[in-house]
Amino acid sequence: MWADETRPRNQGANLTSYELNEEGIKNTIIADNTGGILMQRGEVDICIVGTDRTLANGDVCNKVGTYLKALAAHDNKIPFYVALPSSTIDWNIKDHKNIPIEERNSDELSHVEGLDEKGDIKKIQIYPKKSKAMNLAFDVTPAKYVTGLITEKGVCEASEKGLKKLFK
């Protein structure tokens, strides 16, 4: 099991890896952009991501970088599934261009927090002060790149037809 670090908040390195360990599932943390080369090398059998919002047409809005993983999976003929609770289905927004994409504080990119040698939490800047950062939190993966949606009611195709079969 490969677990992306999920920069800049490192949820994959902290939360995903922790949960996998708690379930006894061996995992290796990788840098966010490593998934593509692992897919090229044949070291990925299936790709499963989460979602923060799923449109009725099957488009998914998730942590930025999800779209690039879907493209890499598509290019390497690897099934790409999205796991979601039905509470994240947005039946009202019809066009993914109408999904508000959060831009978070650039400090999440320019600084990291960690423990120093005394065990105190320190926040340090990791790139030049003159450099600017853009911290978009989400991106949209079109349904055409999604093999299927995994829900609490079963698996369906990433489409309105597929979702309506499960959620009447």
Q: Would you tell me how many other CB atoms lie within 10 Å of the CB of residue 108? A: 15
Cβ neighbourhood burial of 50 (10 Å; 0-12, 13-18, 19+): middle
Catalytic residue among 4, 45, 52, 75: 52
Contact 3, 20 (CB under 8 A): yes
> Which is it for strands 154-156 and 148-151: parallel, antiparallel or unpaired?
antiparallel
Residue entry with tokens 């609770």: 85
State the Cα–Cα distance between residues 155 and 168, nearest whole angstrom. 14
* Known catalytic membership, residue 120: no
CB contact set of 22 (below 8 Å; sequence gap of 6+) = none
Active site residues: 52
